[in-house]
Chains A and B, each alone.
Chain A
Amino acid sequence: MIALRILRHRLFWPIVALVLLVAINTLSRPSFLSITIKHGALYGSSIDILRNSSQLMLVALGMTLVIATRGIDLSVGAVLAVAGAVSLTYIEASPEPGSVGTVTVAVALGLLVTLVLGAWNGFLVSVVRIQPIIATLLLMFAGRGIAMLITKGQITTVTSAPYAEFASGVILGLPVAFLIAVVVVAIVGLLVRRTALGVLMEAVGINPEASRLAGVQSRGIIWSVYAISGLLAGMAGILYSSNIMAADANNAGLNIEVDAILAVVIGGTSLAGGKFSIAGTVIGVLIIQTLTTSITFLGIPPAVTPVFKAVVVIVICLMQSRRVRGLLAVRRRPVAPSVPGTAAIDASAAVSK
């Protein structure tokens, strides 16, 4: 019975997929899992994956909250680009690009602007009541224009040691970027799961009208999830620009909204809103990042990369579909259990929506 509950848990298949990906990589090259110490920092493929996943982690976290309220935020990639543009333009113009003070102000400015952009999305969705996909589509296009305007259409590059720390720095042997992502995920996780906020968000997502009638401040909640999503995309933008020490308005965060939505869906959160899983999103992000690394590791030719990615994602999504799992279960066990556990009900409810 316990085995069955594990099998039916909504995170079971995503975790299997992740383990499988790691196993395939390790089989092809046993060095995949090895971790050594270089210059006082842990070094290895898994560390690279953790560090490189931090941007997507932040963006997908915001996306999870937005999707929980039955919304979607397509503007995250553009907002990410704006954050880098604002911060690096400020650093470039300042007399002391290498000072901690300059970098602090630059990061604060970048995050402030993205918070405002996120709040603008929230305003359009919650007050003006424009459909989320349209409301955030505006900024998806306008945002890159804003970023280009700030960088004057060019790629701004700077040299600033403190700024480089965000992406390349190391604390206690671990990448700073990864630690930032962990701390943020923990804070948001505590905020939505240790307070009533998470439940209220789910209520808004399941039935906005009913929750409003029940006294839930749905407007305020929707408004704030978009603002948070903007802010988190802004943090990702700081990491992206710090990684290459350049603000690239065209390519920064390009298509990251698609990866983020994918990570959320792989993690078992339904696009129809309501129940959401931050742990699921974290696993979804790790799957996508490991997949990207696998392409290099397995030596998949560049031309077929998109097909390879698509096939893996389709398989994961199929495994999560209740109907497909039902078919498989029937094949394997002709006698289905009559009383599934509560976890199973949770899982199927989340997936079927």
Chain B
Amino acid sequence: MKKGLVAAAVVAAIASLALAGCSSSGAGASGSKTIKVGFAQEGAESGWRTANTKSLQAALDSSNGFKLNFSDAQQKQENQIAAIRSFITQGVQAIVFAPVVETGWTDVLKQAKQAKIPVILEDRDVDAADHQYIASRVGDDFEKEGETACKWIVDNFAGKSANMVVLQGTAGSSAANDRTTGCGKVMKGSDINVLDQQDGNFTRAQGKTVMEGFLQKYGSKINILFAQNDDMGLGALDAIKAAGMTPGKDIQIITIDGTHDGLTALSNGQFNYVVECNPLLGDQVAQVVKDVVAGKKVDKLYLAKDEAFDQAAAKQALPTRKY
């Protein structure tokens, strides 16, 4: 009896898949004006990601001529691969996705290619070997962000032989790797002494604990904190206060992202410099999707313009900040 049920369910599932395949390929060929697009977001781990999701959902809205299928992979690659596969079976005309990690996408990207569905990357990158399956990427230049942040540090502490600690992002993520590389470039030969760097996993909680450790270890020797995202810097604030020091004065704090909370801390004088990592990529992505579907030639890479804020600029920008 049970076996019969399972078999029936399997048959039904296969049938529905086949049906979905049929109907979707029909829609794809008809070339109707609305563009069916699937967006596989990697998760909702930070304020930055929230802003990014909202931007894409707004840009790929029906009022702009899109029909959006949205999926949140909760920071798991297998979920994201499953989402992309289902987009392929649904026969969308374009797939947009923000890869949670760099590697392991070859199979599913090949499938998309065979189904003649263009894939556009948003935000993070995939491994260079898989670039052949990608129509285009719209993202931020992480290396440049690291460079800009550390350039400010080098300029402001020129000739002062200051000590810096670094809260790195999730070990192995392209954002953390590239920001470290970018910062290292400008740090070379400067007066800044990097005391220590540790993984803070891009979260407030770990930013706080790791900073506590740094403070116990080096105490008032620390002059500069470079946190590779706002959240870790915000977590570190409490630790610095508990150590009897004033964030922004005793320890100057430089972060990357430019979220609302980060800029608020900057305008309060708790942070000293914030490099933006622009999450509002929606409009640019929407344009690329339109061009690709229309068969126009597009560039392989579009980099968003990232601004940088000091305390005065933050006060100005804050009231109109979208994220």
Contacts of B208 in A (CB 8 A): 243-244
In-complex Cβ contact of A296 among B74, B217, B243 (8 A): B217
Contacts of B196 in A (CB 8 A): 296, 299
Number of contact residues on B: which range applies? Answer: 20 to 34
Q: For window 182-219 of chain B, which residues contact chain A by CB distance below 8 Å?
A: 196-199, 201, 203-205, 208-210, 212-214, 216-217, 219
**The stretch of B41-49, B132-140, B146-154, B312-320 that contacts the partner chain:** B41-49
Contacts of B197 in A (CB 8 A): 302
Interface residues of A, Cβ cutoff 8 Å to B: 29, 31-32, 38-39, 41, 43-45, 48, 52, 144, 148, 153-155, 157, 168, 240, 243-244, 246, 248, 250-252, 292-293, 295-297, 299, 302-303, 305
CA of A58 to CA of B50, assembled, Å = 32
CA of A305 to CA of B208, assembled, Å = 18
Q: Is there contact, CB below 8 Å, between A248 and B203?
A: yes
Shortest CB-to-CB span from B318 to chain A, Å, is: 16
B168 interface residue (CB < 8 Å to A):
yes
B235 interface residue (CB < 8 Å to A):
yes
Q: Which 7 A-B pairs have the closest CB atoms?
A: A296-B213, A302-B199, A244-B204, A38-B244, A45-B216, A153-B44, A302-B171
By secondary structure, the A interface counts as: helix
Q: Is there contact, CB below 8 Å, between B204 and A296?
A: no
CA of A32 to CA of B219, assembled, Å = 11
CA of A41 to CA of B243, assembled, Å = 10
Q: Is there contact, CB below 8 Å, between B210 and A296?
A: yes
In-complex Cβ contact of A292 among B46, B209, B242, B244 (8 A): B209
Contacts of B45 in A (CB 8 A): 155, 248, 250-251
Q: Assuming A168-B238, A302-B198, A305-B199, is B44 touching A293 (CB within 8 A)?
A: no
B72 interface residue (CB < 8 Å to A):
yes
B261 interface residue (CB < 8 Å to A):
yes
Q: For window 23-69 of chain B, which residues contact chain A by CB distance below 8 Å?
A: 43-47, 50
Shortest CB-to-CB span from B208 to chain A, Å, is: 7
Q: Is there contact, CB below 8 Å, between B205 and A244?
A: yes
Shortest CB-to-CB span from A239 to chain B, Å, is: 11
Q: Is there contact, CB below 8 Å, between B168 and A302?
A: yes
B181 interface residue (CB < 8 Å to A):
no
In-complex Cβ contact of A32 among B198, B216, B235, B244 (8 A): B216
B246 interface residue (CB < 8 Å to A):
no
Shortest CB-to-CB span from B257 to chain A, Å, is: 13
Which residue of A has the minimal Cβ distance to B219? A31
Contacts of A296 in B (CB 8 A): 196, 198, 209-210, 213-214, 217
